């Protein structure tokens, strides 16, 4: 089902060589001295209007590891991905990628940083009017000067790495949800990024497709020395996949560490989340008027 690690490694090595000669813009991707941390939030705050999403959040994403970003819905997980990718800017604190403050970069600097990142969006977000091949080719044509012959080679190698080289000519409407995620992954790794961010890669997948996606994330991360951030609500599969787990809740980091360390946390929110409990710090009811106001003698007349 999967290409071997050696095959995937060869695919990436070939692409790196091609990208290095793609044009002057490739020369702007000089890297700072490596540290054990690739991405980091330092006392970051962010809100939508009056609603606080992140409050003084500090977290680290270890280089070369799979980091799971988890927590209740609306806890700020996708917002963290947007901050790291520069789609949103923190209103306080710092968001660092390889030592650079993403929030302080100009447009050219931000584009250079983004070329070192890949993103797998929820449900794949494939271009519906483009074939599988053209979807994966899209970032190569946008960001490099590769010849069409080299684009073809790179696209087929990436599709081969995710087991879909034979599906190159199909349209998104002709493939399953699990296959669409794998095409989206091939597109995310087309430019050989250092960091790949996965937003709910397992949502809506059947057990076979879910297991395939999880194994592929792990295999690509290890074979290519990538750094991965996985936003997911699937506890069992994500804890089995991840090296490092971060639990967000109520705008703060409730816990971070190895899967075993997080499972052993005594934090009430973490305990509720990892044990799938209906009661705890995360309430069942959305905030609103109390029952007496709505159902009492005078409540029935109010809206």
Asked if the 1-29+115-226 domain carries CATH number 3.40.1110.10, the reply is no
The residue among 29 and 166 whose pLDDT is bigger is 166
Instruction: Provide mean pLDDT across the span 250-258.
Output: 89
Instruction: Provide mean pLDDT across the span 30-56.
Output: 81
Dist. CA 125–CA 76, nearest whole Å: 20
**Residue 296 pLDDT grade (very low, low, confident, very high; cuts 50, 70, 90):** confident
Could you please state the CATH topology (level 3) that the domain comprising 34-108+243-277 is classified under: Rossmann fold (3.40.50)
Strand ranges of the sheet holding 37-48, from the earlier edge strand across to the other edge:
51-62, 37-48, 92-97, 100-101
Is residue 42 scored above 90 in pLDDT? yes
Is residue 33 scored above 50 in pLDDT? no
Instruction: Provide mean pLDDT across the span 11-35.
Output: 41
Q: Is the pTM of this model over 0.85?
A: no
Residue 287: predicted pLDDT: 75
Over residues 17-27, the pLDDT tens digits come to 344 333 333 33
Over residues 140-174, the pLDDT tens digits come to 988 888 899 999 999 998 898 888 889 989 999 99
In the chain, which segments carry CATH 3.40.50.300?
1-29+115-226, 34-108+243-277
Dist. CA 36–CA 205, nearest whole Å: 33
Residue 250: predicted pLDDT: 80
Neighbouring CB atoms inside 10 A of 24's CB total: 7
HEC sequence for 86-155: CCCCCCEEEEEECCEEHHHCCHHHHHHHHCCEEEECCCCCCCCCCCHHHHHHHHHHHHCCCCHHHHHHHH
Residue 71's H or E segment, with its range, is: strand 66-71
Residue 23: predicted pLDDT: 36
The residue among 26 and 281 whose pLDDT is bigger is 281
Instruction: Provide mean pLDDT across the span 12-36.
Output: 43
Sign of CA dihedral 270, 275, 280, 283: positive
Residue 32: predicted pLDDT: 43
Neighbouring CB atoms inside 10 A of 172's CB total: 19
Residue 300: predicted pLDDT: 55
Is residue 30 scored above 90 in pLDDT? no
């Amino acid at each position: 089902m999967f290409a071997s690690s050696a095959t995937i490694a060869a695919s990436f090595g070939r692409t790196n060589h091609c990208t290095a000669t793609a044009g002057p813009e490739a020369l702007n991707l000089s890297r700072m001295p490596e540290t054990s941390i690739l991405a980091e939030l330092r006392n970051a705050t962010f809100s939508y209007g009056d609603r606080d999403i992140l409050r003084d959040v500090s977290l680290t994403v270890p280089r070369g590891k799979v980091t799971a970003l988890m927590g209740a819905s609306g806890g700020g997980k996708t917002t963290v991905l947007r901050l790291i990718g520069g789609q949103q800017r923190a209103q306080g604190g710092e968001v660092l990628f390889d030592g650079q403050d993403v929030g302080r970069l100009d447009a050219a600097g931000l584009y250079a940083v983004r070329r070192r990142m890949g993103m797998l969006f929820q449900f794949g977000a494939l271009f519906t009017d483009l074939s599988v091949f053209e979807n994966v080719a899209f970032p190569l044509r946008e960001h490099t000067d590769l010849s069409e012959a080299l684009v073809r080679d790179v696209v087929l190698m990436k599709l081969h790495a995710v087991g879909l080289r034979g599906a190159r000519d199909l349209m998104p409407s002709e493939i399953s949800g699990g296959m669409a995620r794998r095409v989206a992954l091939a597109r995310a790794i087309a430019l050989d990024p250092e960091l790949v961010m996965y937003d709910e890669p397992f949502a809506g997948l059947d057990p076979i497709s879910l297991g395939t996606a999880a194994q592929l994330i792990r295999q690509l991360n290890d074979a290519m020395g990538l750094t991965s951030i996985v936003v997911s609500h699937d506890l069992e599969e994500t804890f089995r996949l991840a090296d490092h787990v971060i639990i967000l809740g109520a705008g703060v980091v409730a816990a971070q560490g190895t899967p075993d360390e997080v499972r052993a946390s005594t934090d009430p929110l973490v305990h509720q989340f990892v044990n799938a409990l209906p009661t705890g710090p995360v309430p069942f009811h959305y905030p609103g008027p109390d029952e007496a106001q709505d159902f009492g003698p005078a409540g029935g007349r109010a809206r």
